[in-house]
Amino acid sequence: PIPVASYKFNCVDPVNGQEVYDDDGHFVSSVCWRGQSQTLVAANCKGNIEILEMV
C-alpha cells in the first residue's frame, strides 16, 4: 500500500537538548481530525504530539 501522506516527527533529546529525528522505526499511534477542517492532531509511540495543517 502507498501512504496518503507522511510526516517525520522530531523531538528534543532530554540529555543534550538537541533536536532528534524519528528514524528509529517509531510509528504514529494516533491521528484525529474533524471533517471540513485542514487541521489534524497526530501522536507517535514516544508520546510526542503534533498539530498539523494539511495544505
pTM for this prediction:
0.59
Classify the C-alpha dihedral 11-20-23-4 as positive or negative. Answer: positive
Return the pLDDT at 22. 58
What's the longest Cα–Cα distance across the chain?
41
pLDDT below 70 — which residues of the chain?
Answer: 21-26
Cell numbers 528509529 correspond to what residue?
24
Residue from 50, 23, 27, 24 nearest 39 by CA: 50
Is 22 in contact with 46 (CB distance < 8 Å)?
A: yes
